[in-house]
Structure 1
Amino acid sequence: MSAVSANNPLLKNFEFPPFDAIDACHVRPGMRALLKKLDDDLIELERSVEPCWPKLVEPLEKMKDRLSVVWGAVNHLKAVKDTSEFRSAIEEIQPEKVEFDLKLGQSKPIYNVMQNVMHFIGSKTMETMN
């Protein structure tokens, strides 16, 4: 992690967003670093995906949750501490965030494994109903 990333409150692990520490100057580098990490995580998950809940759904939920929390904090601050700097940073980063969301939502390897999991769950449900 670079020195800039290490000092970016958006990249810290937190239970509650550190709103008082986040400024507009953190949005671009913080979101780009987060999106890069999540993209790397997604590539690894696609490469090694297994048809079981802990190896498929839990990592997906972790990625989605992290992005949601950080992006939510940024947008909340834009709403309550609106500045041209926040608006500009969000406008610049939003296409990159949307691109990652689409990549995550349209992952063919993950879709294929998820279909197998859902088929398995469906067949087990049908067995218990008979």
Structure 2
Amino acid sequence: MSIAAVNAARSWISESDPDSHHADLWLRNARIVVLPVGHKWCAVKVPSGPGTAAVRAGLNGPAILEPRRFVYFPVPLGTDESWLVPGTDCLGEGNFLGVPGPTFTCGPGVYWLTRPTGSPSGSLSGALVDPDELRAALASPCL
């Protein structure tokens, strides 16, 4: 991963915290930062089997794996108000998520299956997962 890509991912993570300085300090000194969900994005929580299958099938956008448990997909704010996919949950305001530093792409512990590539306030491309694409991927008979 290039330095520019690491910096872009670190910025994406830091901007997701109301106190970006807090998040940046944690990212520079620890493996993980706990971020409030519902500030810049929501997160769809999917069991690890179908979640990793969706990523392998080419779903665009960042994905965090909590090994043998869940995959979390950052999605646009407001998704929690309309998300109705059986066996999944959409986390919104009042929830927190452990987010790994941008260079952690394998265990132990929580890591990125697909790293973020943009700003959470920017376009969906690479920054957030499109909820309609995620819903379609999870409904695919191949999963």
Say which structure is richer in strand.
Answer: 2
Q: TM-score, length-normalised on structure 1?
A: 0.22
The structure with more radius of gyration: 1
Q: TM-score, length-normalised on structure 2?
A: 0.21
